Amino acid sequence: MGSQLGTLFRVSTFGESHGVALGCVVDGCPPGVTMCQNLIQTFLDRRRPGQNEFTTQRAELDICEILSGVENEVTLGTPIAILVRNQDKKSSDYNDINQIFRPGHADYTTFKKYGTAASSGGGRASARETIGRVAAAAVAKAYVQTLLPQVDVIAWVDRIGHVQAQVDLNSVTLSNVEASSIRCPDEIAAANMMSEIKSAKNKGDSLGGVICCVAKNIPSGLGEPVFDKLEADLAKAMMSLPAARSFEIGEGWASTFLKGSENNDAYFLDKESNIITRSNRSGGIQGGISNGMPIFIRVGFKPVSTIFKQQNTVTKDFKEIQFTPTSGRHDPCVLPRAVPLIESMFWLVIADHLLRQISLNHKFLAEIQNNL
Amino acid sequence: MGSQLGTLFRVSTFGESHGVALGCVVDGCPPGVTMCQNLIQTFLDRRRPGQNEFTTQRAELDICEILSGVENEVTLGTPIAILVRNQDKKSSDYNDINQIFRPGHADYTTFKKYGTAASSGGGRASARETIGRVAAAAVAKAYVQTLLPQVDVIAWVDRIGHVQAQVDLNSVTLSNVEASSIRCPDEIAAANMMSEIKSAKNKGDSLGGVICCVAKNIPSGLGEPVFDKLEADLAKAMMSLPAARSFEIGEGWASTFLKGSENNDAYFLDKESNIITRSNRSGGIQGGISNGMPIFIRVGFKPVSTIFKQQNTVTKDFKEIQFTPTSGRHDPCVLPRAVPLIESMFWLVIADHLLRQISLNHKFLAEIQNNL
Amino acid sequence: MGSQLGTLFRVSTFGESHGVALGCVVDGCPPGVTMCQNLIQTFLDRRRPGQNEFTTQRAELDICEILSGVENEVTLGTPIAILVRNQDKKSSDYNDINQIFRPGHADYTTFKKYGTAASSGGGRASARETIGRVAAAAVAKAYVQTLLPQVDVIAWVDRIGHVQAQVDLNSVTLSNVEASSIRCPDEIAAANMMSEIKSAKNKGDSLGGVICCVAKNIPSGLGEPVFDKLEADLAKAMMSLPAARSFEIGEGWASTFLKGSENNDAYFLDKESNIITRSNRSGGIQGGISNGMPIFIRVGFKPVSTIFKQQNTVTKDFKEIQFTPTSGRHDPCVLPRAVPLIESMFWLVIADHLLRQISLNHKFLAEIQNNL
Amino acid sequence: MGSQLGTLFRVSTFGESHGVALGCVVDGCPPGVTMCQNLIQTFLDRRRPGQNEFTTQRAELDICEILSGVENEVTLGTPIAILVRNQDKKSSDYNDINQIFRPGHADYTTFKKYGTAASSGGGRASARETIGRVAAAAVAKAYVQTLLPQVDVIAWVDRIGHVQAQVDLNSVTLSNVEASSIRCPDEIAAANMMSEIKSAKNKGDSLGGVICCVAKNIPSGLGEPVFDKLEADLAKAMMSLPAARSFEIGEGWASTFLKGSENNDAYFLDKESNIITRSNRSGGIQGGISNGMPIFIRVGFKPVSTIFKQQNTVTKDFKEIQFTPTSGRHDPCVLPRAVPLIESMFWLVIADHLLRQISLNHKFLAEIQNNL
- Band (pLDDT 50/70/90 cuts) for residue C56 is low
Which run of H or of E encompasses B163? strand B163-164
Residue ranges of the binding site of C: 47, 124-126, 287, 302-306, 329
A55 has a pLDDT exceeding 60: no
Looking at residues C171-176, what average pLDDT do you find?
95
Q: Is A294 annotated as a binding residue?
A: no
Residues in D touching B28 (Cβ below 8 Å): 359-360
Most confident of A35-49, C39-53, D178-192: D178-192
CA of A236: how far to CAs of A210, B231, C182, in Å?
17, 8, 54
- Band (pLDDT 50/70/90 cuts) for residue C89 is low
Residues in B touching D74 (Cβ below 8 Å): none
pLDDT score, position B111: 92
Residues in C touching B15 (Cβ below 8 Å): 67-68, 79, 81
CA separation for the pair D60, B54 (Å, rounded): 74
Residues in D touching A129 (Cβ below 8 Å): none
B235 has a pLDDT exceeding 90: yes
| ipTM for the complex shown | 0.96
- Band (pLDDT 50/70/90 cuts) for residue D67 is very high
Q: How many residues does chain A have?
A: 372
pLDDT score, position D326: 73
Top pLDDT among B49 and C272 is at C272
Sequence-ordered list of residues with C-beta below 8 angstroms from that of B7, at least 6 positions apart, any chain: A1, B228, B352, B355, B356
How much of chain C, in percent, has pLDDT values that exceed 70? 92
Furthest-apart CA pair in chain A: how many Å?
Answer: 70
Those residues of chain B whose CB sits closer than 8 Å to some CB in chain C are 1-4, 8, 10, 12-16, 19-23, 25, 27-28, 31-32, 65-69, 71, 74, 76-81, 83, 113-116, 119, 123-124
- CB atoms inside a 10 Å sphere around CB C166: 9
With an 8 Å Cβ cutoff, are C362 and A30 in contact?
yes
Which run of H or of E encompasses C175? helix C174-178
pLDDT score, position D124: 87
- Band (pLDDT 50/70/90 cuts) for residue C98 is confident
Q: For an interface test with B, which of C13, C36, C71 has the most B Cβ atoms less than 10 Å from its Cβ?
A: C71
C6 has a pLDDT exceeding 70: yes
pLDDT score, position A183: 97
B360 has a pLDDT exceeding 90: yes
A88 has a pLDDT exceeding 80: no
With an 8 Å Cβ cutoff, are A289 and B236 in contact?
no
Residues in A touching D75 (Cβ below 8 Å): none
Average pLDDT along chain C? 92
Interface partners of chain B (CB pairs < 8 Å, 3 or more) are: A, C, D
Per DSSP, helices labelled H in D6-129 are: 37-47, 107-114
B186 has a pLDDT exceeding 70: yes
How much of chain B, in percent, has pLDDT values that exceed 70? 92
C195 has a pLDDT exceeding 70: yes
CATH number of residue D206's parent domain: 3.60.150.10
Q: Is A133 annotated as a binding residue?
A: no
Residues of C192-229 as b/e, b for ≥16 C-beta within 10 angstroms? bbbebbeebbeebbbbbbbbbbbbbebbbbbbbbbbbb
CA dihedral of residues B340, B345, B347, B352 (deg, nearest 10): 170
Sequence-ordered list of residues with C-beta below 8 angstroms from that of C225, at least 6 positions apart, any chain: A78, C287, C288, C289, D2, D106, D110, D113, D123, D124, D125, D129
pLDDT score, position C136: 98
Looking at residues A234-260, what average pLDDT do you find?
97
Average pLDDT along chain A? 92
- Band (pLDDT 50/70/90 cuts) for residue D83 is very high
Reported as a single tens digit per residue, the pLDDT across C119-164 is 555 788 888 999 999 999 999 999 999 999 999 999 999 999 999 9
CA separation for the pair B235, B249 (Å, rounded): 8
Reported as a single tens digit per residue, the pLDDT across B285-298 is 999 999 999 999 99
pLDDT score, position C312: 92
pLDDT score, position D52: 59
A114, A249, A275 ranked by CB distance to B361: nearest = A114
Helix-helix angle A230-239:A335-360, to 10 degrees: 150
| Nearest CA-CA distance, residue C288 and chain A, Å | 14
Sequence-ordered list of residues with C-beta below 8 angstroms from that of D145, at least 6 positions apart, any chain: D151
CA separation for the pair C320, A173 (Å, rounded): 79
pLDDT score, position B329: 60
Reported as a single tens digit per residue, the pLDDT across C246-275 is 999 999 999 999 999 999 999 999 998 899
Reported as a single tens digit per residue, the pLDDT across C211-229 is 999 999 999 999 999 999 9
pLDDT score, position D123: 85
Contact indicator for C160, C209 with CB cutoff of 8 Å: yes
A120 has a pLDDT exceeding 80: no
Looking at residues C51-60, what average pLDDT do you find?
60
With an 8 Å Cβ cutoff, are B30 and D360 in contact?
yes
Residue ranges of the binding site of D for FMN: 124-126, 287, 302-306, 329
With an 8 Å Cβ cutoff, are A361 and C77 in contact?
yes
With an 8 Å Cβ cutoff, are C265 and D231 in contact?
no
Reported as a single tens digit per residue, the pLDDT across C306-317 is 999 999 999 988
| Nearest CA-CA distance, residue C359 and chain A, Å | 5
| Residue pairs spanning C and D at CB distance below 8 A | 385
CA separation for the pair C124, D6 (Å, rounded): 22
- Band (pLDDT 50/70/90 cuts) for residue C95 is low
pLDDT score, position C116: 76
Q: Is A287 annotated as a binding residue?
A: yes
Looking at residues D342-361, what average pLDDT do you find?
97
* Structural domain total, chain A: 1
- Band (pLDDT 50/70/90 cuts) for residue D354 is very high
| Nearest CA-CA distance, residue D138 and chain C, Å | 18
Looking at residues A14-18, what average pLDDT do you find?
93
- Least confident range from C94-108, D89-103, D222-236: namely D89-103
Q: Is A70 annotated as a binding residue?
A: no
Closest-CA residue to A62 (of A51, A75, A73)? A51
With an 8 Å Cβ cutoff, are A245 and B250 in contact?
yes
Domain membership of residue C309 as a residue range: 4-370
CA of D325: how far to CAs of C287, D107, D305, D308, D310, in Å?
20, 15, 12, 5, 8
- Least confident range from C98-107, C347-356, D155-164: namely C98-107
| Nearest CA-CA distance, residue A146 and chain C, Å | 11
pLDDT score, position A57: 53
Residue-by-residue DSSP string for A272-327 = TS-EEESS-TT-SEETTEE-SSPEEEEEEEPPPS--SS-EEEEETTS-EEEE----
CA separation for the pair C291, C305 (Å, rounded): 38
pLDDT score, position D74: 95
Contact indicator for C242, C125 with CB cutoff of 8 Å: yes
D31, D359, D366 ranked by CB distance to B359: nearest = D359
- Band (pLDDT 50/70/90 cuts) for residue D88 is low
Average pLDDT along chain D? 92
- Band (pLDDT 50/70/90 cuts) for residue B88 is low
- Band (pLDDT 50/70/90 cuts) for residue D98 is confident
D364 has a pLDDT exceeding 80: yes
Contact indicator for B134, B340 with CB cutoff of 8 Å: yes
pLDDT score, position A47: 81
With an 8 Å Cβ cutoff, are C289 and D162 in contact?
no
pLDDT score, position D91: 53
Interface partners of chain A (CB pairs < 8 Å, 3 or more) are: B, C, D
* Pairing assessment for the beta strands A64-66 and A21-27 based on DSSP bridges: unpaired
Top pLDDT among D16 and D95 is at D16
A56 has a pLDDT exceeding 90: no
C67 has a pLDDT exceeding 70: yes
